[in-house]
Structure 1
């Protein structure tokens, strides 16, 4: 069985919400803060990587 890689999403804000998508199959909505130094944050529920547009292609 092959494990899917976590999703990577490009976002425009440094404070973002993640609910896992897929309606009832998602997870509780959490608000995450993207570090201005790292440029991304990973969701603790679904491991999605949310990358700020300024850091696209750099992380």
Structure 2
């Protein structure tokens, strides 16, 4: 059995919501803050990597 890699999403803002994106199968909505020096944050529920558009291809 193989484990799928976490989803990576490019986002426009530094403060973004994540709810797992799967309707009733998702998770509670959380608001995440992307550090300006790091350029990305990982959701503690679904492990999605949210990358700010300015850091696309750099992280």
TM-based fold match above 0.5: yes
What secondary structure does 1:24 align onto? helix
Ranges in structure 1 where 5+ consecutive residues have no aligned partner:
none
Structure 1 vs Structure 2 CA RMSD: 0.3
Residue 16 (str. 1) matches residue 16 (str. 2): yes
2:13 & 2:21 partners in 1: Cα distance? 18
Measured after TM superposition, the shift of residue 11 of structure 1 is 0.2
Q: What is the aligned length?
A: 59
- TM-score with structure 1 length normalisation? 0.99
Cα offsets for 1:20-56 (capped at 9, x unmatched): 0110000000000000000000000000000000000
**TM-score, scaled to structure 2:** 0.99
Q: Does 1:53 align with 2:53?
A: yes
SS in 2 for 1:50: strand
* Misfit runs of 4+, over 3 Å: none
